[in-house]
Structure 1
Amino acid sequence: MKLTYFFIGTLIAVTVMPHASGYAINSDVVSCRSGPGTTYGIVRTYKKGQNVSITCQTTGPSVNGDSLWDKTSDGCYVADYYVSTGTGNYVTGKCGGGEGSPPSSNSSGYCKAVNQAGLDLISKWEGFVASPAPDPIGLPTVGYGHLCQQKNCAEVKYKFPLTKATAQQLLNDDIPKYSSCLASYLNSRVKLNDNQWAALVSWVFNNGCGNAQSSTLVKRLNDGEDPDTVAEQELPKWRMAGGHVLQGLVNRRADEVRLFKTASSKQAYPSCQ
């Protein structure tokens, strides 16, 4: 039950930034989004062979092993994986930084996966879908909440119909996308154990990276407030879809709060034990 909430991102102003021109799109119908990640809204699409100018680059959720996202002259972001730059490194300046700046990271040692309690929670609330089908708000999903990126979920490497075992493998493949964006939004002063981390990754998985980035929850954690207090107060607010409170979301948030407040000696962020 992956629910996506609409929001408006703030574009970072870039000054005196050289444009890198003439890079061809290498895949059919590539989405250019309002932010660097697949949870952001689609602004426009590019066709295979179409040339784009890149105004700057930044890091975001990895697409097939490439975590760079290119901001085009149209003011939207496309995964660098789909642009024929000839390299996996920067070809122009970093968005908000100087030319050729390396990608920034608050932490490189966080847990990219989540513990079994987190996997069980996500699997429980997403539900098992063997073949691609619309979820309760009409988004095509398969497995345990995998949101299809291509027609008929062609990007999924496992055979349909999925078994619960292959659906679990697909979930394991998907988790690093959400743990990665969460790690990029938190500063290194935040300390989270594996249960706290798993609960937050479940929340991001459900609501999307962009919504997490702009959330009061992340801001309060970065401001140094007590994590248990923040989770208990902020997670239950994420209970609406389509302008209505959904009991399923109320119950999922309650499960996430319980997991978050379950004591553990294993650290998961900013370093993984």
Structure 2
Amino acid sequence: MKISAIAAFILASATSFAKTYPVTANALSCRSGPGTSYAVKKTYPKGHQVSISCQTSGTSVNGNSIWDKTSDGCYVADYYVKTGVNGYVTSKCGGGSSGGGSSSGSYCKKINSAGVNLIAQWEGFVASPKPDPIGLPTVGYGHLCQKKNCAEVKYKFPLSKTTAKQLLSDDLPKYTKCLAGYLNSKVKLNANQWAALTSWTFNVGCGNVKSSTLVKRLNNGENANTVASQELPKWRMAGGRVMQGLVNRRKAEIKLFKTASSQQAYPKCQ
């Protein structure tokens, strides 16, 4: 059956407007499955625009365990695709949402002021969009731009520190949602513990949190303060080397985590 000229035009138009992302590796292998042990089906050159149909977890590549299924039906390591975020940008392969979320949906969507201030302190303030140390355009307190010139931001540039805090507050539910989705209902966290882990999630990305030993240990019922004290300091590297800023940030997160609070935040917000 022949496709009509109008239908062909509509199909071509839909394809041309599909969301694509550039490859950052010189030669990126697209494999039959989400891992380095799978057979190579295609190779994409640097700068090639890939269309991502869904994402899933697989072999960790430089700390990023997310793999992208391309429109060609094969998988590439998300580490080598410039999506502009550290976590999922589309739905998970096989169904489900990209961010997770607790079954009850009653966890705290936002975090307390101590957590917001901690994130703001370590992310640093940027009034107008500009590239971060690895070349990704950011603004405010760590907001990664999703559109050209951060057009998705509803606040006027240059941002004030007040509007930057508001933008950060708008961004945080994405990270509390994925964090809640990776923890089981047996884990009990107060407001300070929840804020500290949200800061960590905001920094390392949802994919890394999902595959972390920290989450596994909490889900196994280990003492939360012990787990945080032992696991958070491990997240201190960037670009293959230890970064003092990350060492200091982890110390601040542990301090907040271990600060007593009578307010519960997960699995139920009180």
Task: Kindly report structure 1 stretches of 4+ aligned residues shifted beyond 3 Å.
Answer: 24-35, 42-46, 54-57, 70-73, 75-80, 103-107
TM-score (norm 2): 0.68
Is the contact between residue 122 and residue 144 of structure 1 (CA under 8 Å) also seen in structure 2?
Answer: yes
Q: How far, CA to CA, are the matches of 2:18 and 2:184 in structure 1?
A: 37
Q: How far, CA to CA, are the matches of 2:106 and 2:136 in structure 1?
A: 33
Q: Match of 2:258?
A: 261
1:27-38 matches, within 5 Å, as: 29-31=19-21
1:113-124 matches, within 5 Å, as: 113-124=110-121
Distance 1:27 1:157, change over 3 A: farther
Give per-residue Cα distances to partners, 1:125-161, cap 9 Å, x unaligned: 0010001111122221100000112222121111111
Q: How far, CA to CA, are the matches of 1:74 and 1:32 in structure 2?
A: 17
Distance 1:56 1:211, change over 3 A: closer
Q: Match of 2:90?
A: 79
Is the contact between residue 189 and residue 265 of structure 2 (CA under 8 Å) also seen in structure 1?
Answer: yes
The structure carrying a bigger helix percent of its residues is 2
For structure 1, which runs of at least 5 residues remain unmatched after alignment?
Answer: 1-21, 36-41, 47-51, 58-69, 81-93, 98-102
Distance 1:43 1:234, change over 3 A: farther
Is the contact between residue 155 and residue 163 of structure 2 (CA under 8 Å) also seen in structure 1?
Answer: yes
1:30-179 matches, within 5 Å, as: 30-31=20-21, 45-46=50-51, 74=73, 79=90, 95=94, 105-179=102-176
2:249 aligned with 1:244, yes or no? no
Q: Match of 2:198?
A: 201
For structure 2, which runs of at least 5 residues remain unmatched after alignment?
Answer: 1-10, 24-32, 35-46, 57-68, 76-87
Is the contact between residue 71 and residue 78 of structure 1 (CA under 8 Å) also seen in structure 2?
Answer: no
Give per-residue Cα distances to partners, 1:185-244, cap 9 Å, x unaligned: 000000000000000000000000000000000010111110000000000000000011
Q: May I ask how many residue pairs the two structures share in their alignment? A: 212
- Amino acid across the alignment from 1:118: G
**Cα distance, 1:106 vs structure 2:** 3.4
TM-score (norm 1): 0.68
- Amino acid across the alignment from 2:132: D
Q: Which has the higher contact order (CA 8 A, sep 6+)?
A: 1
Is the contact between residue 190 and residue 269 of structure 1 (CA under 8 Å) also seen in structure 2?
Answer: yes
Q: Match of 1:186?
A: 183
Q: CA RMSD in A?
A: 3.4
